[in-house]
Amino acid sequence: MNLVRRIAMLAPCATAVLLLGGCLKPPIGMPDASVIGYDGHRAVPPDCARLAAPSLLTDGGIPRPSVAWGCATYTNLAAQVANPRDLVSPGRLGPADAAVAASAVQRYETGHVIPLDQSTTRNAK
């Protein structure tokens, strides 16, 4: 089959995908970061069984497994939180320091960038 004919056959499918792409929305009631708990000492990941939603798809008449939307994401986020109290009562954001930001840009533009500290495994000062 020549290339023009293949393109002609795929064009309606591609058009449908493009048109319907904006119509698909995530399921109603998807979890947000509020599913991460705090027990007074550490961030507590969500209960994945509670987040599980039954699949609307079947495979040969057999229902597909349920899906726990966002469970892995929020479990990983809970494991990475440095200060779990920030989930309950986040600290206030301080003012930006324009002079520090401007001096960093000026050093970058003039080629006087401060090299990273190579004596440790850190990648920032």
Burial of 91 (0-12, 13-18, 19+ CB in 10 A): exposed
pLDDT tens figures, 43-95: 889 998 888 888 888 888 888 888 888 889 999 988 888 788 777 788 888 88
CA atoms of 44 and 42, how far apart (whole Å): 6
Least confident of 11-20, 28-37, 54-63: 11-20
Residue 66 lies in a domain: yes
* Overall domain count for the chain: 1
Residue 4 lies in a domain: no
User: Is pLDDT of 39 > 90?
Assistant: no
Identity at 77, one-letter amino acid code: L
Residue 58 lies in a domain: yes
Burial of 45 (0-12, 13-18, 19+ CB in 10 A): middle
Residue 74 lies in a domain: yes
User: Is pLDDT of 16 > 60?
Assistant: no
Give pTM, 2 decimals. 0.46
Which residue segment(s) compose the domain that 54 sits in?
Answer: 27-87
Closest of 23, 33, 24, 31 to residue 49, by C-alpha: 31
Which pair of structure tokens corresponds to residue 40? Answer: 């007074």
